[in-house]
Amino acid sequence: MPATKGITFATRLFIGGEFVDGAAGTSIEVVNPHDGSRLTEVAEAREIDVDRAVAAARAAFAGWRDTPAAERGRLLFALADRIEQHFDAFAELEALDTGHPIRDARFLDVPRTIANFRYYGGLADKVSGRQVPAEPGFLNYVKREPVGVVGQITPWNFPLMFTSWKLGPALAAGNCVVLKPSELVPLSTLRLAELIAEVGFPPGVVNIVPGYGHVAGQHLAEHPQADKIAFTGSTATGRRIVAASAGNLKRVQLELGGKGANIVFDDANLPAAINGSAFAIFHNQGQACIAGSRLLLHERIAQEFLERFMALAASIRVGDPLDPRTEMGPLTSKLHQERVLAYCDIARQEGGEVLLGGCVPAEPAALARGYYLQPTIVRAKPGDRVFQEEVFGPFVSITTFRDEEEAVRLANATDYGLGGGLWTTDLGRAHRVAERIRAGMVWVNCYKRVNPGAPFGGVGGSGYGRDLGVESMYEYTDAKSIVVNYDARIPPYYRR
């Protein structure tokens, strides 16, 4: 098994409970974002491999659907326990492959992954149907049935955690899964496949097919034998998924991009707002769909807030993700680093003042080969591209407002509707504004707090459907109504 820095990698496809080579024998290079070096290569899944994985999932479905729900839950608990036994290895692997600072991987990615699997382990036997009031002599009940074979496609920004968001509810509800991780960061998902095999999930219940989006992903989205596709990624790809799904009218769930507004009112607790706003945008190098990437500041506190916020941003320790002191690592790919840098140029061209950053760090020299970027703060107007478009980096736009009305208008002035936040000590305003922000999630006096039990998803350009919470169990089940006549004296309508 290949290894780097003592960390071993699983590198083959996981189909029907076995690790297998791709049919075409081609591979995908996996790169270390810290220095651009080659970490390993993994087998590439092509269309024919996706077909095999879907067939394996289909073959396993009847048995898994009929497995007692508590037993499905037990396996999810066992998987969570097993990840916990390998806690440090997962944290290091995720940091190495994605560039997440190891302290974040330890504090957020791995613990949340474990918590999500436990949440759905517990929920497996607790989501029930209902009985509908009906005429005497009739029993009308509604069952929740698994959708069937589910295709899942995940992005590169939180690969391990999103795998738990997707697999947890799908498996708890009795579905079989073919999951395609991002071609950029497949390693933690493949490692998870090893644990899935070890804890005893029946073969074919989970299949992992690392491959390119336009090949394996597209084929999965089009697949006539897949009953649903659950996708997390960009809005542009989300549109392609919808088109690809039309052939067999499969169910589609879309968790797409965002452009989170983070509003600071003039009565806010400023130290908390400054610290929380830095977390909102700079955590994971801003590579978060719910990042607070548009800071909206009340004009009365804007100057003071900015001075202190910039000082904090300038002091963020950018460096090797495996160093426990690092607060911001590299972006996950070179292409993405170039994309974010291009937005710095766009901001300048649009006349937006770059107040901080906007370039790669000059020091230390050890970072020169990695995909690093300085924390970047720019002023922007609502019509600017950097105000409207998802940059997905450590890049925040600053816009001021006069009153609550204008703050809400600015917050709602993009096509996205994923997450947003506000900082205020006025209780009435907190509820008023939270209600009026067009988004699937709103945080008050905090930002990016995500619990396994609360639904996660957006509206508008941010997609539809919900990960997490009991809501996600509904996403992975269909309602079936069954009507039973238990009184033979009731005649049918015909010949009354």
Q: Contact region for ligand NAD (CB under 6 A) — 64-72, 199-207, 229-237, 260-268? A: 229-237
Q: Is 155 in the site for ligand NAD (CB under 6 A)?
A: yes
Distance, CA of 84 to CA of 104 (rounded, Å): 16
Backbone angles phi, psi at 307, to 5 degrees: -60, -45
Active site residue 344: no
Q: Annotate each residue in 409-428 with x if it binds ligand NAD (CB under 6 A) or - if it does not, as one string.
A: ---------x----------
User: Exactly one of 56, 167, 221, 230 binds ligand NAD (CB under 6 A); which one?
Assistant: 221
Q: Which residue is nearest to ligand NAD (CB)?
A: 213
**Residue 392 engages ligand NAD in binding (rule: CB under 6 A):** yes
Binding to ligand NAD by residue 441, rule CB under 6 A? Answer: no
* Nearer CB in complex with ligand NAD: 87/464: 464
Q: Which residue number, 91 or 215, has a Cβ lying nearer to ligand NAD?
A: 215
Count Cβ atoms within 10 A of the Cβ of residue 133 and give its class: 0-12 exposed, 13-18 middle, 19 or more buried.
exposed
Site stretch for ligand NAD (CB under 6 A), options 25-33, 179-187, 305-313, 404-412: 179-187
Catalytic residue flag (residue 176): no
Pattern 247-286, ligand NAD, x by CB under 6 A: --------xxxx----------------------------
H helices of 359-464, in order, are 385-388, 404-411, 427-436
**Residue 449 Cβ, how far from ligand NAD at the closest point, in Å?**
15
Number of DSSP helices (H) and strands (E) in the chain, helices first: 16, 22
* Residues ≥6 apart with Cβ < 8 Å to 255: 231, 232, 233, 289, 456, 457, 458, 462, 463, 465, 467
Q: How far apart are CA 383 and CA 313, in angstroms?
A: 25
The answer to whether residue 218 forms part of the interface with ligand NAD (CB under 6 A) is yes
Quote the least distance from Cβ 47 to ligand NAD, whole Å.
12
Q: Smallest distance, Å, CB 482 to ligand NAD?
A: 34
Secondary structure (3-state) at 378? strand
User: Who's near 481: CB < 8 A, 6+ residues apart?
Assistant: 132, 140, 141, 142
Residues 82-141 that bind ligand NAD (CB under 6 A): none
CB 129 within 8 A of CB 40: no
- 254, 463 contact by CB (below 8 A): yes
- Binding-site member from 182, 284, 400, 472 for ligand NAD (CB under 6 A): 182
Among the listed residues 381, 363, 380, the one whose alpha carbon sits nearest the alpha carbon of residue 372: 363
388 binds ligand NAD (CB under 6 A): no
Beta-bridge partner residues of 328: 318
CA distance 470 to 451: 12
**Shortest CB 472 distance to ligand NAD, Å:** 12
With beta carbons less than 8 A apart as the criterion, state whether 331 and 361 touch: no
Q: Find the catalytic residue in 222, 289, 390, 404.
A: 289
Contact set with ligand NAD (CB under 6 A) = 153-157, 180, 182-183, 213-214, 217-218, 221, 232-234, 237, 240-241, 255-258, 289, 390, 392, 418, 458, 462
Which residues have a catalytic role annotated? Answer: 255, 289
